Amino acid sequence: MTKRLTKKYQPTPELDLHGIQHHAVSVLVEDFVLNNQNKFPLKIITGNSEKMKSIVISVLNQHEFNYLNGDYYNRGYIDVLN
C-alpha cells in the first residue's frame, strides 16, 4: 500500500535554516519559495529563533504568501500555504 502512495503524493519541499546566518536568510527563503511555487505547501524549518522567524515572515509578507507559524507542540517551522 505504501508503494501506491509514494507514486501519487510527492513529499513536501523543505528548507532547513539551521546553521544559516541571519544576513543570508532572506535571499535563501525568497529563492526557495519562488522556485517552488508549483509545489505548495512548503515547509521552512527555522528553529526557535524569533529573529529567524521574523526574517522569514517578512519575506513571505513581502511576496504576499499565506503561512502558518508552526503548531502547538513544535513552533520551530513555518508552513507556506500559497
The 10s digit of each residue's pLDDT in 26-77 is 999 999 999 999 999 999 999 999 999 999 999 999 999 999 998 888 999 9
**Interior angle at CA 45, CA 42 and CA 49, nearest 5:** 140
The CA distance from 7 to 68, in Å, is 27
The x, y and z cell numbers of residue 66, run together, are: 499565506
**What's the predicted TM-score (pTM) here?**
0.85
- Which H or E element spans position 54? helix 50-62
Task: Please give the tally of structural domains in the chain.
Answer: 1
Which residue type, as a one-letter code, is found at position 19? G
Instruction: Name the residue range of residue 17's domain.
Output: 12-80
Residue 73 in domain = yes
For the cut 80, the answer to whether the pLDDT of residue 24 exceeds it is yes
Residue 56 in domain = yes
The x, y and z cell numbers of residue 67, run together, are: 503561512
Q: What is the mean pLDDT of residues 3-21?
A: 81
The CA distance from 53 to 46, in Å, is 6
Residue 1 in domain = no
